[in-house]
Structure 1
Amino acid sequence: MALHQQLPFFNPNVPFSSLIQAGLLEGMSITVCGRVLPDAEAFVVNLYYGSDIALHVNPRYNGGFGYVTHNTLRNNAWGEEENKHETPFPRGQMFALQILVTHESYKISTNGKPLLEYKHRMPFSCVDRVHVDGMVELSLVAFQYLARHQSQQQMSEGLAEPHYAAAPGSFDQMVPYKCIINGGVQPGKVIIIHGVISPQAKRVWFTLRHKFGIAFDNCLCFDENVAVCNNYEDGKWGNEERSEFTLFKRGELLQVTIFCSRHGYEVFVNGEQTHTFSHRYTKLEEIDVLDIHGDVRLIFVQP
């Protein structure tokens, strides 16, 4: 059972600030997706408690050389900086930053690759707000928790980290793509998919499976300009739910976010909600496989 669910923010303005409903807990993940402006000098992602900053993530581009500073501000005094003298946030390119809260530290990753483990300098339970500012555009800010029954080893190893499909700007990783969803699809689960639709695309599928069938199948049919949602149980398909789409275009970037609520799957495309599919298979903890196939090249997937 999920501890809490908070809706993602799509295409928010910068500066961005939001309360974290119920505050931080061990096992919580915050994902920030966006694009660094081509002439960026710096941007920040901060976790606040009042006027204190428990975690300060600050990519900088002084003299054209990128590096990332991490720090804590307490009682109006900065602590000792922890720096990475390289940057996974190239100017003009998309990024996905994830902050995973563990008992000992924040595990910070970018585009699915570990960046830094930042030991807590003040209790993470005090944190109640996330703030993003600077020379960056945001496409998504999302919150979720790991399932309670995941092991401490999984959490310490950061197995909730996203999967990196290819370097930004390079689209060499082809589908089919399949991965395990640790803990299943619990309410509050957010699945994020970045990719590029093939110029001659006919079909793209995003599928959530369990060992007995398919709980949710979302097929984009480019020759008909419709999205078809369905499930597959007991050896047969259910009733199709079809809707027209205008947000998908061949040859263009694609961001799909699937948010699992208590009632169904809410699907967002490029920041706009396109449809909701009510749960037909209700044992959500058993839905533990994400499958992507069809005419798309993947950049980044957070299952």
Structure 2
Amino acid sequence: MSATTPRQTFVNPTIPFAGTILGGLLPGEMVVIQGSVPSDADRSPCVVCNSLQSESWGREEILYAKPFAAGDKFELIVLVLKDMFKPIISSKGDLSIPFRGELDEGLTVGRSITINGVTNHNAQSLAVNLRVSGSSDIALHLNPRLNKEVFVRNSFISGCWGPEEKELDSFPFRAGAYFEMIILCDRQQFRVAVNGQHQLLYKHRVPDLRRITQLEVLGDVTLDAVNFFDN
């Protein structure tokens, strides 16, 4: 299914459930599973991924430890990429736009931020900002402009925007489509990937990384998950 026009829906299925995916799956599509954990659930709280081939299970991969509690509502998204499946568990809490999330103790080398969402059907642009504490400065401004297919990067320091960076091999966003953006903080630069593909490098213009304490997301987008990972 796509983000805005599901081609197949199962409502209140009986568990255990098995259903046929008409037409198979294609890269860029996703499977969305919404439900709730029974209040008396007693299995170990983790998400295990595996494949069954020729009646034999392969090696298990545990991707999320303790993602749910008994009685929790949840949304599990399986994003279909060219060479892999990407399971995503929607975050708890308020993900409304504009979104602002605090980075405890600021950024450090090796820390990463993962943003999962869907661009609006008529999306013009969105912005992801990494803000500096105690000021209006923006250490990293990521601004995909879907109406122009331009991915602008910049910093706002001491009341002024710096030189824009726009070079990109291909534009990775589409209106009405699901995306995953990963921002990795390296020693000298940020690395940004979209939908599993490396897109760009952006050299630090704010050298004191620990002063970068807030993530902000604005624009024509609906968020499904925002996660912070340490190295």
TM-score (norm 2): 0.62
Q: In structure 2, what is the equivalent of residue 224 of structure 1?
A: 148
Q: Who is 2:123 aligned against?
A: 201
Residue of structure 2 in register with 1:214 after alignment: 138
- 1:243 is aligned to 167
Shift of residue 224 of structure 1?
1.1
**Structure 2 Cα separation of the partners of residues 273 and 279 of structure 1:** 18
CA-CA distance at 1:240 after TM superposition: 0.4
Residue 103 of structure 1: aligned partner: none
1:187: which partner in 2? 109
Structure-2 residue corresponding to 1:74: none
Q: Residue 282 of structure 1 aligns to which amino acid in structure 2?
A: P
SS in 2 for 1:241: coil
SS in 1 for 2:43: strand
Residue 83 of structure 1 deviates from its aligned partner by 1.5
Distance 1:165 1:254 in 2: 20
Residues 295 and 248 (structure 1), Cα distance of their counterparts in 2 relative to 1, 3 Å cut: same
- Once the two structures are TM-superposed, the CA of residue 97 in structure 1 deviates from its matched residue by 4.8
Equivalent position of 1:61 in the other structure: none
Tell me by how many angstroms 1:185 deviates.
Answer: 1.0
Cα separation, partners in 2 of 1:197 and 1:114, compared to 1, 3 Å: same
For 2:166 and 2:87, the matched residues in 1 are separated by 26
- What is the rounded CA distance, in whole Å, between the counterparts of 1:284 and 1:209 in structure 2? 11
List structure 1 segments (4+ residues) > 6 angstroms apart after TM superposition: 86-89
Q: String of CA shifts for 1:197-226, please: whole Å, max 9, x gaps.
A: 101111100100013311000001011101
CA distance in 2, matches of 1:190, 1:114: 25
Structure 1 residue 174 displacement after superposition: 3.3
Cα deviation, 1:63-98, whole Å, max 9, x if unaligned, reads xxx99xxxxxxxxxxxxxx725x9989xxxxxx954
CA contact (8 A) 1:188 1:261 kept: yes
Q: What secondary structure does 1:285 align onto? A: helix
Going from structure 1 to structure 2, the CA distance change for 1:253 and 1:189 (only over 3 Å counts) comes to same
User: Structure 2 counterpart of 1:139, which letter?
Assistant: K
2:207 corresponds to = 282
Aligned length: 163
Partner of 2:43: 83
Higher strand share: 1
Alignment partners' CA distance in 2, 1:204 and 1:198: 10
Residue 66 of structure 2 corresponds to: 109
Quick check: 1:295 aligned with 2:220? Answer: yes
Residue matched to 1:170? none
Residue 182 of structure 1 aligns to a residue whose secondary structure is coil
Q: For structure 1, which segment, 185-194 or 244-253, has the greater mean C-alpha deviation from structure 2 after superposition?
A: 244-253
Q: How does 1:109-128 map to 2 (within 5 A)?
A: 109-110=66-67, 113=68
Q: Secondary structure at the match of 1:266?
A: strand
Number of the residue aligned with 1:265 = 190
Q: Does 1:178 align with 2:100?
A: yes
Cα distance between partner residues in 2 of 1:185 and 1:87: 27
- Helix, strand or coil for the counterpart of 2:116? strand
Letter in 1 for 2:204: H
Q: CA separation in 1, counterparts of 2:98 and 2:179?
A: 17
| Amino acid in the other structure paired with 1:193 | I
TM-score (norm 1): 0.48
The yes-or-no answer on 1:254 pairing with 2:179 is: yes
> 3-state DSSP class of the match of 1:268?
strand
Contact residue 203 and residue 220 of structure 1 kept, 8 A = yes
Give the distance between the partners of 1:191 and 1:140, measured in 2 at CA.
16
Q: Is the 8 A contact 2:151 2:171 kept in 1?
A: no
Measured on the aligned residues, the alpha-carbon RMSD in Å equals 3.2
Q: Which amino acid aligns with 1:255?
A: E
The residue identity in structure 1 corresponding to 2:193 is: F
- Distance in 1 separating the partners of 2:146 and 2:184: 23
Percent identical among aligned pairs is 25
- The DSSP-based 3-state class of the residue aligned with 2:66 is strand
Gaps of 5+ in 2: 1-16, 20-36, 49-61, 71-83
